[in-house]
Structure 1
Amino acid sequence: MILFASGRTDIPAFYSEWFFNRIRAGFIDVRNPYFPQKVTRYSLNPKVVDCILFCTKNPAPLIPHLDELKEFGIYIFVTITPYGKEIEPNVPEKSATIKAFAEISDKLGKDKICWRYDPIFINSTYTVATHIREYKKMCQTLCQYTDRCIISFADLYSKTKRNFPELKEVSEADQRFLAGSFARISSACGITVESCAEKLDLTDCGVCPGECISRELLEKITNVRLLNDVHQVLRKHCSCLPTRDIGYYNSCPHLCKYCYANYDEKTVRKNFALHDPNSSFLIGNSRPDDILKEANQKSFKDTQLFMF
């Protein structure tokens, strides 16, 4: 199985102490976001956890602990965008994030870290020209440390519309123009650029539909062949391998305006105050009415080793 840390909150940035406490403890409890009484306990045994995916805007807290993950497959998505503090109020400065990105790449290899440039939106400050200029700057730096970039355009989720009402969908014409420009820039830098769960096919612009975590990638990370019965069960337009998200909605203090996972700042601060780094839960602790169930976990790996 693949553990995702996380699409619901930024675990590396704000909850690294807790996460590595759980690695040492060997298990983690995850509350169902829609049925809070239901709790799933996951084993953190590398015999059943093939890979841990991290998705973060601040990977620096992971760096001192990377050796603790050497028995797992690891893949790290780092989101770096051109937006300022009015959009991403608590995200570190880009230079600090790029420095941490480079250090992780040097430790793990450039094939185990991926740059995400998303979500892309357009307004009077972040124009098409601005995106092209900033993407080129970042690409020319990050190509030393990764061979892959994933892009996506902003989706108007209900939480996003509430917190960022002026956000507009990017027109098809602008999507195609940006995709073509990014493809040309990336090609010159030796980076492959892919789209993520986009309904618009941008293949003719040089940006193919991507799989954030694919069979090919997981086999490369783990250096073993996968079983044939690994199926995709995720959202529409997504063909990634299935993952188990261990995050918690409404708990990311980055407070990005475009975020789909936070309801509002008050709820985030309330939940963050309940965080206990020694708990088996990311937010809060066990409750008397919890219904605990052991996860049905199995490795995706075939037994036959093979080398690339």
Structure 2
Amino acid sequence: MILQTGMRTDIPAFYAEWFTNRIKDGYVLVRNPYNPVQVTKYRLDPTFVDLIGFCSKNPAPMLQYMDLLKPFGMYWFVTITPYGTDIEPHVPDKEKVIDSFLALSEIVGPDAMAWRYDPIFLDETYTVDYHLKAFEHIAARLCDATKTCVISFIDLYQKVRKNFPEVRSVGKDDRIFLGKEMIEIAATHGMTVRPCGEGDELAPYGADCSGCMTQQVYETALHTSLIFPKKQPLRKECACFLGNDIGAYNTCPHLCRYCYANYDEQTVRQNYANHDPHSPFLIGNLHPEDVIHEAVQKSWVDGQMRLF
């Protein structure tokens, strides 16, 4: 099975100690975000968990624990964008994030790494030219450390509109121009651009629009084939198989203004204050009214090795 850690928060950046404690204890408890008394227990056992997916803006805190993760397959999405602290107030210096990306790639290999350059938005500071220069710089630094760059243009979710009211969607002409240029830049550095939830409009220019968390992506990372269960995508624009997520919403202290997973800063700070690195839950502990359901878990590996 595939276990995700990063669709709701950034576990490597802020909860690395907690996650490694969960690995040591062999299980994790996850609240249903829409019915918190419903709790799912996942066994963190490489016999059943074929791959752990990570999404992070700062993987550095997890690097010291990589030996503990070696029994598991991994796939890492590391977001490196050109924005300053006006947009990403608590993301580390981007050159340091790039260094962490390179160190991580040395451990897990380029097939298990993806660079996310998203979300893309435009304003008087972050212009088309600004984006292309930044994209070229980052792509050059990451050359040979990954074969994949995921891009997306900002989606104006309700939480995004609330926390970033001045942001505007990117028009089609700008999307096409930026996408085409980024595809060409990425190709010169050995990368394929995979748009995230953007449909097929960049396919004519060389983008792989099949998705960024697909069976093919996971099989390439694991260097083996998988037998996937049938499952509907999270959203109609997305062809990816996301797996089961052990994170929690409103828990990411990066506090990026475009974030879809945080409601507001106060809620994040309250939740972060309730984090116990020794708890089986990311936030808080077990309550008397909790109903625990043990997830049905099995390996999807079919045992056929593949060359990619």
| TM-score bin (small chain) | over 0.9
Which residue does the alignment assign to 1:124? 124
Q: How does 1:257-296 map to 2 (within 5 A)?
A: 257-296=257-296
Q: Are the aligned partners of 1:151 and 1:195 in contact in 2 as well (CA < 8 Å)?
A: yes
- How many angstroms apart in 1 are the aligned matches of 2:230 and 2:99? 36
Q: 1:64 Cα shift?
A: 1.0
1:305 aligned onto 2:304: yes
Which residue does the alignment assign to 2:80? 80
Q: Are the aligned partners of 1:33 and 1:249 in contact in 2 as well (CA < 8 Å)?
A: yes
Matched length: 307
Q: Are the aligned partners of 1:12 and 1:58 in contact in 2 as well (CA < 8 Å)?
A: yes
Secondary structure of the residue aligned to 1:84 is coil
Over 6 Å off, 4+ runs: none
1:151 aligned onto 2:151: yes
- How many angstroms apart in 1 are the aligned matches of 2:42 and 2:28? 5
- How many angstroms apart in 1 are the aligned matches of 2:229 and 2:254? 37
The residue type equivalent to 2:283 in the other structure is I
Check 1:247–1:22 CA distance in 2 against 1; reply closer, same or farther (3 A cut). Answer: same
Moved more, 212-221 or 4-13: 212-221
TM-score by length of 1: 0.96
Give % identity: 50
Q: Are the aligned partners of 2:30 and 2:281 in contact in 1 as well (CA < 8 Å)?
A: yes
- How many angstroms apart in 2 are the aligned matches of 1:121 and 1:200? 19
1:54 aligned onto 2:57: no
- How many angstroms apart in 2 are the aligned matches of 1:82 and 1:154? 14
- How many angstroms apart in 1 are the aligned matches of 2:221 and 2:230? 16
Q: Are the aligned partners of 2:27 and 2:44 in contact in 1 as well (CA < 8 Å)?
A: yes
Structure 1 runs not aligned, ≥5 long: none
- How many angstroms apart in 2 are the aligned matches of 1:262 and 1:224? 36
Secondary structure of the residue aligned to 1:209 is coil
Q: Are the aligned partners of 1:196 and 1:210 in contact in 2 as well (CA < 8 Å)?
A: no
Q: 1:203 Cα shift?
A: 0.8
Q: 1:3 Cα shift?
A: 0.7
Q: 1:205 Cα shift?
A: 2.7
- How many angstroms apart in 2 are the aligned matches of 1:150 and 1:164? 22
Secondary structure of the residue aligned to 2:162 is helix
Q: 1:291 Cα shift?
A: 1.0
Q: 1:242 Cα shift?
A: 4.0
- How many angstroms apart in 1 are the aligned matches of 2:254 and 2:52? 22
Structure 2 runs not aligned, ≥5 long: none
- How many angstroms apart in 1 are the aligned matches of 2:118 and 2:148? 14
Secondary structure of the residue aligned to 1:85 is coil
The residue type equivalent to 1:33 in the other structure is P
1:42 aligned onto 2:42: yes
- How many angstroms apart in 2 are the aligned matches of 1:253 and 1:306? 40
Q: 1:232 Cα shift?
A: 4.2
Q: How does 1:1-308 map to 2 (within 5 A)?
A: 1-199=1-199, 201-227=201-227, 229-302=229-302, 304-308=303-307
Secondary structure of the residue aligned to 2:124 is coil
Q: 1:147 Cα shift?
A: 1.2
The residue type equivalent to 2:304 in the other structure is L
The residue type equivalent to 1:99 in the other structure is D
TM-score by length of 2: 0.96
Q: Deviations over 1:228-274 (max 9, x none)?
A: 64444321121112410111100100000000000000000000000
The residue type equivalent to 1:306 in the other structure is M
- How many angstroms apart in 1 are the aligned matches of 2:123 and 2:116? 20
Moved more, 158-167 or 203-212: 203-212
Q: Are the aligned partners of 1:161 and 1:167 in contact in 2 as well (CA < 8 Å)?
A: yes
- How many angstroms apart in 2 are the aligned matches of 1:194 and 1:127? 22
Secondary structure of the residue aligned to 1:31 is strand
Check 1:3–1:228 CA distance in 2 against 1; reply closer, same or farther (3 A cut). Answer: closer
